[in-house]
Amino acid sequence: MPVKNRFAELLPEITEWRQDIHENPEILFDTVRTAKVVEDKLKAFGCDEVATGIGRTGVVGVIKGKSTASGKVIGLRADMDALPILESTGLDYASKTPGAMHACGHDGHTAMLLGAAKYLAETRNFDGTVVVIFQPAEEGGGGGKEMCQDGMMDRFGIQEVYGMHNWPGIPTGQFAIRPGGFFASTDQFEIRIVGKGGHAAQPNKTVDPIVTTSSLVTALQSVASRNVDPIEQIVISVCSIESSSKAFNVIPDAVTIKGTIRTMSKETRALAETRLKAIATSTCTAFGATADIRWIPGYPAMVNSEEQTEFAASVATEVSGACELADLTMGGEDFAYMLEERPGAYILVGNGDSANVHTPEYNFNDEAIPAGCSWWAGLAERRMPAA
């Protein structure tokens, strides 16, 4: 099953959809226009059911095969939201919304899944049901979690779920995947270190939160180097340090640090939270300061199911001739919430030698569309073969 000829025929049309979405980016749950575009197209394709308002602005389409005797139901998910980035591509179809840009390729994901939905609704060459899922707020809003909390999996009887993301650096239209932990959990922390301020010439009359913070930032790195099994993945980054003083000669009363901890397992994630809180408290106590600690849970680690990963890779190999083992990434992905509810897999499709995602110069490569559409359609036809 190489790239389907039908998607080569549809490429100009799907490209037009993609570039229209690119030109009109929407952030987080404010994907009102995009959701309406998706809804209208799914209805025009003849989907058996189109549901809106799931996870606030999410859209779900149901496509039944020529037969549903197998009782199988698979979900295919694409994300719709953009990023708060000022675009600098200079494209004819560049963002018309200042400060918003499709800098991660969700415009391409949405267009490819729409293309697959059109093909599957035309052919229905499978025995079962396909549920196409268009999700808002992947970029930090947890739209996947909200769609699950709205009962999406049970409402549509989804048994397995699959997702895809474009990836710069992988040859265009090629695929990569890995079983097990793939994307990291993305927790955040904020620690306010409170001491006693004073004159820089009289540090003995202060409890210096700057010195305390300096020790704390260094001590936090011991979580990775001395508390976590060396074969486990963990990244602790302090990304912001702000004090209540802007003067050269004033020791401040307080300092606030902010950062992120990324891990690949529930056990390491729990350990990291426990150790961060203990180290912050004890370090501040040792210097006579106090710590006000705020732990902000983010996305859980995204873990691909073994059997579904093998199946997804086999379909990708049929489409492009090969499917490589993907590297671990410490980035986050809220498809993790769907994989916590159902077995499934997440795959990468090559975007070629392009600018990296989350940069003002990035653009989704439309040449990847036929391969991406073929993979999604192939999942349905291979998982639920027509009698």
Rounded distance between C-alpha atoms, residue 135 and residue 113, angstroms: 11
Residue 275, H or E segment: helix 266-287
Spatial contact of 201 and 378, defined as CB atoms under 8 Å apart:
no
Quick one: how far is CA 6 from the chain centroid? Answer: 29
DSSP strand pairing (160-167 vs 73-79):
parallel
- Please indicate if the annotation marks 165 as binding a ligand: yes
Q: Is 290 exposed, middle or buried (0-12, 13-18, 19+ CB in 10 A)?
A: middle
Structure tokens belonging to residue 146: 């909200």
User: Would the CA dihedral through 13, 14, 19, 21 be positive or negative?
Assistant: positive
- Please indicate if the annotation marks 284 as binding a ligand: no
Spatial contact of 138 and 31, defined as CB atoms under 8 Å apart:
no
Rounded distance between C-alpha atoms, residue 153 and residue 225, angstroms: 40
Angle, helices 5-23/369-383, rounded to nearest 10 degrees: 120
Nearest to 160 by CA among 69, 68, 75, 79: 75
- Please indicate if the annotation marks 139 as binding a ligand: yes
Nearest to 380 by CA among 94, 143, 66, 144: 66
Which residues, 6 or more positions from 159, have their beta carbon under 8 angstroms from its beta carbon?
Answer: 72, 73, 74, 342
- Please indicate if the annotation marks 22 as binding a ligand: no
User: Would the CA dihedral through 282, 284, 290, 296 be positive or negative?
Assistant: negative
Q: Edge to edge, what strands does the sheet with 234-243 contain?
A: 234-243, 254-263, 187-194, 290-296
Which residues, 6 or more positions from 238, have their beta carbon under 8 angstroms from its beta carbon?
Answer: 217, 220, 257, 258, 259
Q: What DSSP designation does 384 have?
A: S
Phi, psi of 70 (to 5 degrees): -65, -25
Residue ranges of the binding site for Mn(2+): 104, 106, 139, 165, 358
Residue ranges of the binding site: 104, 106, 139, 165, 358
